């Protein structure tokens, strides 16, 4: 995924679990993504995991 901006639609998010599921699906995280903030940080800072956009909305 290489984009300058990716918008994550969160209007249907009702819990931390559903937010992490939405983030994982939108950003293309691996199947073993732990659905917690430490795992989120690992995925967005590891260039081997995903190509993060310049901005995440």
pLDDT band at 37 (very low <50, low <70, confident <90, very high): very high
What value does the mean pLDDT of the chain take?
85
CA pair distance 10, 2, nearest whole angstrom: 21
The structure's pTM equals: 0.77
Range of the domain at 36: 5-56
pLDDT band at 7 (very low <50, low <70, confident <90, very high): confident
Question: What is the number of structural domains in the chain?
Answer: 1
pLDDT band at 44 (very low <50, low <70, confident <90, very high): confident
Report pLDDT for 45: 84
CA pair distance 28, 1, nearest whole angstrom: 8
CA pair distance 28, 30, nearest whole angstrom: 6
Average pLDDT over every residue of 5-14: 90
CATH of the domain at 26: 3.30.370.10
């Amino acid at each position: 995924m290489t984009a300058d901006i990716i918008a994550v639609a969160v209007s249907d998010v009702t819990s931390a679990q559903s937010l992490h599921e939405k983030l994982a699906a939108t950003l293309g995280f691996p199947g073993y993504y732990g659905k917690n903030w430490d795992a989120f940080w690992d995925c967005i800072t590891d260039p081997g995991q995903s190509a993060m956009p310049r901005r995440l909305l």
